[in-house]
Amino acid sequence: MARLVMKFGGTSVADIDRIRNVARHVKREVAAGHEVAVVVSAMAGTTNRLVDWCREAASLHDAREYDVVVASGEQVSAGLLAITLESMGINARSWQGWQLPIRTSDAHGAARILEVNGAELVKRFKERGEVAVIAGFQGVHPETNRITTLGRGGSDTSAVAVAAAVNADRCDIYTDVDGVYTTDPRVVAKARRLDKIAYEEMLELASLGAKVLQVRSVELGMVHNVRIFVRSSFDEPDSIDPHAAPPGTLICGEEEIVEQQVVTGIAFSKDEAQISIRRVADKPGVAAAIFGPLADASINVDMIVQNVSPDGATTDLTFTVPAADYERATSVLNGAKGKIGFERLDGATDVAKVSVIGVGMRSHAGVAAKAFKALAEHRINIRAITTSEIKFSLLIDANYTELAVRTLHSLYNLDK
Ligand code: ASP
Ligand code: MG
């Protein structure tokens, strides 16, 4: 017997037929003797509609009331799934965030989970064999006693938090892909599904655009050591053997991965823009003068490279921002030109960032050097390079993205 959290996203609960399908997935696990808590998102399209309604009502609105409105989507799907399970003879009860409770900060619209009380759920697993159906995405702020939501895509984080609270053996994320791939299969036909990936690697992949899971759910999983399993919700519920290992990707601690590859995956993003500040004074306080105003404007800066000045007087500084923020970023910088002091700004929006990720890089030398050589052979120019312990990122011309990703994918033996 195992204790499982099963999470289903919006497309999996898009209508009553699909909710029935979800119920059959749940039934299979219950019949196999497992204790089950289910976490659901709102029915597909619902949250978007609720968000639009808030905007339509007033473009500037109180975030507390926004949360009241958008949290309602999950209330509906949780209730509907509980009804469906009951109708199939499965003992089930729905739970809203405030009922457990799932305690959060008061950052309405982007609240952080502080604590989840799983005691009542565990008691009911034991005493009544009851399935808990939990509304994802929502919680409550204990001091004000008001409903909060966790930010878009937040029910992944709800699921992992519940799994930590009830000490689940696994948190299954049922989604419209059957796992995490070495890279985007639409770009590289030979992309392979990974059996396992370490939390840290997944964090890099997720934040770099492999849009499988909300990044915070992986952070939370890493902190609480929750084994997160990404699997398909399209598989026929009754054809799955609940005792066999299903296809999917397990996100887990490094120690659980026996045959660690040096490189696990290649991520890329074309939504990048490059900004270079030429001949900026080489003295203390300049980086603060540049990045302070960008932070104040809520512009996320990613790769930052600064050269060592040849003459001790001026240097160049290059960094990337999301392409959508490019105009805003350049106008913020031009506005602060007097304070910063530089000769000119250069920029480009037709750039892409390609990142190579793998915890194995910690113990292997020369991993990046191989990439430089391979890209040079294809005459792909590298504009900027950044590295961390388990990844390196290259900024290149956007036109070469696919070629670079394919080249690196086969270079590191990721092709199937
Ligand atoms: N329904 C919410 C959203 O669309 C939460 C989720 O689906 O994870 O963002
Ligand atoms: Mg999602």
Assess whether pLDDT exceeds 90 at residue 149.
Answer: yes
Query: Is the pLDDT assigned to residue 246 strictly greater than 90?
Result: no
Q: Which atom of ligand 1 is found nearest the CA of 214?
A: 8
Question: What is the DSSP annotation of 108-137?
Answer: TTS--EEEE--HHHHHHHHHH-PEEEEETT
Q: Among 47, 149, 211, which residue has the most ligand 1 atoms within 8 Å of its CB, making it the best to mutate?
A: 47
Whether the pLDDT of residue 210 is over 70: the answer is: no
Residue 41 Cα distances to 53, 149, 168, 336, angstroms: 19, 12, 20, 43
Which residues on neighbouring strands pair with residue 249, listed in sequence order?
230
Ligand nearest to the CA of 110: 1
Residue 215's H or E segment, with its range, is helix 215-224
Whether the predicted pLDDT of 125 surpasses 90: yes
Q: Alpha helix (H) ranges present in 71-172?
A: 72-87, 119-128, 155-165
pLDDT class of 206 with cuts at 50, 70, 90 = confident
Query: Where residue 103 falls among pLDDT bands split at 50, 70, 90?
Result: very high
Q: Is the pLDDT of residue 208 over 80?
A: no
Reading the block at residue 334, the tokens are: 């031009």
What is the rounded average pLDDT for all residues in the chain? Answer: 95
Residues 6+ apart with CB under 8 A from 161: 102, 113, 116, 220
CA of 153 to the centre of ligand 2 (A): 4
Q: How confident is the model over 33-47, as a mean pLDDT? A: 98
Per the CB < 8 A criterion, the answer to whether 51 and 67 are in contact is no
- In this prediction the pTM is 0.91
Q: Which ligand is nearest to the CA of 73?
A: 1
Beta strands in 244-343 (DSSP E): 249-252, 265-281, 304-306, 314-322
* E runs forming strands in 138-185: 138-141, 146-149, 170-175
Q: Is the pLDDT of residue 47 over 80?
A: yes
For 145-158, what is the mean pLDDT? Answer: 97
pLDDT classification of 243: cutoffs 50, 70, 90:
confident
Specify the residue with its C-alpha closest to ligand 1, atom 8: 153
pLDDT surpasses 90 at 309: no
- The predicted model gives 146-174 an average pLDDT of 97
Residue type, 403: L
Average of pLDDT values for 44-52?
98
Residue-level pLDDT at 311: 86
Residue 71: phi, psi to the nearest 5? -70, -15
For 244, residues 6+ apart whose C-beta sits below 8 A from its C-beta are none
Question: Residue with structure tokens 């194995």?
Answer: 360
Q: Which residue has the higher pLDDT, 242 or 102?
A: 102
Task: Decide if pLDDT at 276 tops 90.
Answer: yes
CA atoms of 113 and 314, how far apart (whole Å): 45
The rounded distance, in Å, linking the Cα atoms of 4 and 27 is 12
Residues with C-beta atoms within 5 A of ion ligand 2: 9, 153
* Alpha-carbon dihedral sign for residues 234, 236, 237, 243: negative
Q: Which residues line ligand 1 (CB under 6 A)?
A: 9-10, 41-42, 47, 73, 136-137, 152-156
Coil, strand or helix at 340: helix
